[in-house]
Amino acid sequence: MNNFSWQCPTKLILGKDTIDQVASEIKALGCSRVLMVYGSGSIKRNGIYDKTAKSLNDAGLYFKELSGVEPNPHYDLVLKGVELVKANDLDFILAVGGGSVIDTAKAISAGALVDSLDTFFEDCFLGGKPVTAVMKKGAILTIPAAGSEMSNSCVITNTKTGFKRGINTFLNYPQFAILDPTACYSLPAYQTACGCADILAHMQERYFSNTTDTYFSDLVLEASMKAIIELGPRCMENPTDYDLRAQIMFIGSMAHNNLLGACRTQDWASHWLEHELSTQYNVAHGAGLAIIFPAWMRYVHKANPRRFIDFFSNSMNLKREAGEDEEAFIERGIKALEAWYQSMGLPIRLTQIGAKDDRDFELMATRALSGNRTKAGNLMKLDHDDLVAIYRLAL
Amino acid sequence: MNNFSWQCPTKLILGKDTIDQVASEIKALGCSRVLMVYGSGSIKRNGIYDKTAKSLNDAGLYFKELSGVEPNPHYDLVLKGVELVKANDLDFILAVGGGSVIDTAKAISAGALVDSLDTFFEDCFLGGKPVTAVMKKGAILTIPAAGSEMSNSCVITNTKTGFKRGINTFLNYPQFAILDPTACYSLPAYQTACGCADILAHMQERYFSNTTDTYFSDLVLEASMKAIIELGPRCMENPTDYDLRAQIMFIGSMAHNNLLGACRTQDWASHWLEHELSTQYNVAHGAGLAIIFPAWMRYVHKANPRRFIDFFSNSMNLKREAGEDEEAFIERGIKALEAWYQSMGLPIRLTQIGAKDDRDFELMATRALSGNRTKAGNLMKLDHDDLVAIYRLAL
């Protein structure tokens, strides 16, 4: 078991009608001038925008809006948000949406206070220069997936250079996260499915570890992965079941606040591999993970077969048959995981998202290991050729 | 699933040689004049005192000491601590010990800032008057048990009036908790056992709930209870196994920071029942819980037998035999739980801690329901006569 330090200051507020309290949470933080960040406008159709605006207006809070956040959120919009903050003397960033919106809000909250905005992406996202000051921020979550509402990370894509990179810092935690399960009722099925794949992935990246003597952490991870594996498909069939939506939101936040990974060396190769899929093929992050994870498992499982056997046994309820060897059981497990993704309508091969052959894989592997990176992952440390080989397995 | 708000700001620092960083954590909080609170002096024998003092001295931090905290910590010592804080202009309370020491530190941190210290116990502990300001505080944990290092509660006994009562407030969370597993190596076996019983109890109080649609929370609670049930007795046999001590410390903090109970109506009747045992028979809290829980289970299980069947099946690995009815399985489970307590040297009957008959039970039940209390528990709401009946079952 590894030494660790864990702290997650975000106030998690989960329940019916909790959006109404957003203004009181902002005021309790001493803020009054809000940048409200959101996406394509679905929050205007499902009533979330109105609920949020009503709470802010009723409390007399001033707010400006920044809309148009896309999946794999763009750096350009971050810059636009920083301009709005500065031009209007705003003191709080409120994200209303999913991970892309929250990540944009986090990047704005940091970008607004950096000395040199011109080199912000190069310095902090690519170069690893620490962020030292941020604005206060909160989230109203509408898509359980990225876990950004309770995480220290934010991932932004710079479309000019093609890099999708993240900043991890304690300062990234939102002050509060409001999770109203009814906000998910109108989510498209595909987004619900992508969210479940992403939530599972955040736990898999932490679970598949060579750290020993982590029995407690193993059991809790296995239980949490089992929960999303069982509840995800049920939610696909019952999209307006309050308790299913509530539990998936809860798991999503727990999956990525790093409590589950606190005492373990984590992997994250699959996320690095996937980020290049999103950039190259413009696929949703969760769908990209559904493609990458089975291929990654096939490539690396021999580095620690016990972890894979335990995952398939304890989180996916598979029983090893008499005479079935490890290798056969693990392959059966990977197929069951693929079937789980497919049951929710997700792709499991690169050809399903537009790849015709392996022509892009060298470039994608090069990008995945650029900047200050040398190898990917920890369960098995992967170099350039390993990444290409995993992309090939995913074709 | 219940609406909830959950926030735990405590920075959890777990690992070897982590005590060395206590001074830097205190300085990072802007504090420099420390009240160091500890117990009977075991920290002087096992080196924890020296490590702590060295860290404080090396960093040039001023500190005064308050020693002599006893199990079921006394209000008198809280008052003495407040005097020390005021007389020496201290700005930080550092608890070095287990739950009693940390609870004393929390009470001092609140008592130092109340308007009327003369009525502090009556107002805040008995009367439920909210605490509105506290001093900053941190903990170096030496006994995993109470979970006070990462909880919002503190329980103090007023020996003049015989009341053992708690304050629950967000302001009670320590700013940091340092958990060095090697600090537990010299713990007496009985204290290790009492700690495991207390840790399990904190999860049982949350698990035994009538709240429905809590599948995720159920699974994580069952996994966490399974971990302490398996690791506790192994640690009794291997008291200097680093990873066993580390995991038990980790579970202890997670058991009581309320994440595991966030979406559930909790019970806590057994804790109320036990507090009166500690007052009446001066028994360690964990040992008292080992006596109360089986009796409580026998009395209340019919209110929700499914919860008990799941607990014994999923956390204690019992399998229901063909033809075994619910009642028989649950009684077998309760006996297995008693055997678990006994395997660690804990009592399971009141006669083992000095009760000769039921002469004190009426008084204890009256005390347990005094102040602003009317009934105990939630799985089944218990009145005075129910509490007396449970004490009788525990004879």
Please tell me the distance from the alpha carbon of residue B70 to that of residue B77, in angstroms, as a whole number.
9
Coil/strand/helix, residue B3: coil
Mean pLDDT of B140-150: 97
- DSSP secondary-structure letter at A32? -
Q: What residues are paired with A12 via a beta bridge?
A: A177, B6
Interface of A with B in 331-350 (CB under 8 A): none
Instruction: State what percent of residues in chain A have pLDDT above 90.
Output: 93
Q: Are strands A136-141 and A92-97 parallel, antiparallel or unpaired?
A: parallel
Q: Do B227 and A243 touch (CB under 8 A)?
A: no
Q: What is the pLDDT of residue A42?
A: 92
Q: Looking up tokens 């539990």, which residue turns up? A: A247
- The token pair that represents B308 in the structure block: 């008990």
List, for residues A342-375, the tens digit of each pLDDT value: 999 999 999 999 999 999 999 999 999 987 889 9
Q: Which residues contact A326 (CB under 8 A, 6 or more apart)?
A: A305, A309
Q: Which residue of B has its CA nearest to A11?
A: B7
Q: Which of A139, A113, A135, A138 is nearest to A124 (CA)?
A: A113
Give the neighbor-by-neighbor strand order of the sheet with A92-97.
A62-66, A33-37, A92-97, A136-141, A176-179, A4-14, B4-14, B176-179, B136-141, B92-97, B33-37, B62-66
pTM above 0.95, yes or no: yes
Coil/strand/helix, residue A268: coil
Q: Looking up tokens 């902002």, which residue turns up? A: A26
Question: Would an 8 Å CB–CB cutoff place B115 in contact with chain A?
Answer: no
Mean pLDDT of B20-44: 96
pLDDT value at A210 more than 90:
yes
Q: Which of A22, A152, A216, A247 to mutate to test the interface with B (most CBs of B within 10 A)?
A: A216
Q: Do A247 and B214 touch (CB under 8 A)?
A: yes
Q: Which residues contact A369 (CB under 8 A, 6 or more apart)?
A: A272, A375, A376, A383, A384, A387
Q: What is the pLDDT of residue B182?
A: 97
Which chain A residues are Cβ-neighbours of B8 within 8 angstroms? Answer: 8
Which chain A residues are Cβ-neighbours of B243 within 8 angstroms? Answer: 1, 212-213
Q: What is the pLDDT of residue B165?
A: 85
Average pLDDT over all residues of chain A: 96
Question: Would an 8 Å CB–CB cutoff place A116 in contact with chain B?
Answer: no
Q: Which of B219, B229, B235 to mutate to test the interface with A (most CBs of A within 10 A)?
A: B219
Coil/strand/helix, residue B35: strand
Angle at B349 between CA B347 and CA B353, to 5 degrees: 65
Q: Which residue of A has its CA nearest to B218?
A: A223
- Chains A–B, number of C-beta pairs less than 8 Å apart: 119
What one-letter code names the amino acid at A156? I
ipTM of the complex: 0.96
Question: Would an 8 Å CB–CB cutoff place A222 in contact with chain B?
Answer: yes
Q: Which of A212-216, B164-168, B244-248, B324-328 has the lowest mean pLDDT?
A: B164-168
Domains of chain A listed by start with CATH number: 11-183 (3.40.50.1970), 189-393 (1.20.1090.10)
List, for residues B61-117, the tens digit of each pLDDT value: 999 999 999 988 999 999 999 999 999 999 999 999 999 999 999 999 999 999 999
Q: What is the pLDDT of residue A278?
A: 86
**pLDDT confidence bin for A87, thresholds 50/70/90:** very high
Q: Which residue of A has its CA nearest to B215?
A: A227
pLDDT value at B164 more than 90:
no
Instruction: State what percent of residues in chain A have pLDDT above 70.
Output: 100
Q: Do A9 and B7 touch (CB under 8 A)?
A: yes
**pLDDT confidence bin for A72, thresholds 50/70/90:** confident
Q: Which residues contact A247 (CB under 8 A, 6 or more apart)?
A: A227, A231, B1, B213, B214, B215, B216, B217
- Backbone φ and ψ for A213, nearest 5 degrees, come out as 55, 50
Q: What is the pLDDT of residue A65?
A: 98
Q: Burial-class residue B89 by CB neighbours within 10 Å (0-12, 13-18, 19+).
A: exposed
Q: Do B246 and A223 touch (CB under 8 A)?
A: no
Which chain B residues are Cβ-neighbours of A227 within 8 angstroms? Answer: 215-216, 219-220
Coil/strand/helix, residue B151: coil
Q: Which residues contact B380 (CB under 8 A, 6 or more apart)?
A: B269, B299, B300, B303, B386
Alpha-carbon distances of B356 from A100, B26, B292, rounded to whole Å: 66, 49, 16
B9, B220, B231: residue with CB nearest A223:
B220
Mean pLDDT of B215-237: 98
CA A142 to chain centroid, in Å, comes to: 13
Q: What is the pLDDT of residue B278?
A: 86
Please tell me the distance from the alpha carbon of residue B261 to that of residue B202, in angstroms, as a whole number.
9
- The token pair that represents B78 in the structure block: 């809280």
CA A65 to chain centroid, in Å, comes to: 24
List, for residues B241-282, the tens digit of each pLDDT value: 999 999 999 999 999 999 999 999 999 999 999 989 988 998
- Backbone φ and ψ for A190, nearest 5 degrees, come out as -60, -40
List, for residues A265-321, the tens digit of each pLDDT value: 999 999 999 989 988 998 999 999 999 999 999 999 999 999 999 999 999 999 999
Smallest Cα distance from B87 to chain A, Å: 33
Interface of A with B in 234-273 (CB under 8 A): 243-244, 246-247, 250-251, 254, 259, 262-263
Provide the b/e sequence for A358-387 (b: ≥16 CB within 10 Å). Answer: eebbeebbebbbeeeeeebbbbbebeeebb
Please tell me the distance from the alpha carbon of residue A304 to that of residue A275, in angstroms, as a whole number.
25
Q: Which residue of B has its CA nearest to A181?
A: B3
pLDDT value at B137 more than 90:
yes
User: Strand ranges (DSSP E) for chain A?
Assistant: 4-14, 33-37, 62-66, 92-97, 136-141, 153-158, 163-168, 176-179
B9, B216, B254: residue with CB nearest A251:
B216
Q: Do A243 and B8 touch (CB under 8 A)?
A: no
Mean pLDDT of B120-135: 94
Sign of CA dihedral B28, B29, B34, B35: negative
Question: Would an 8 Å CB–CB cutoff place A29 in contact with chain B?
Answer: no
- The token pair that represents A153 in the structure block: 């990370």
B7, B213, B231: residue with CB nearest A12:
B7
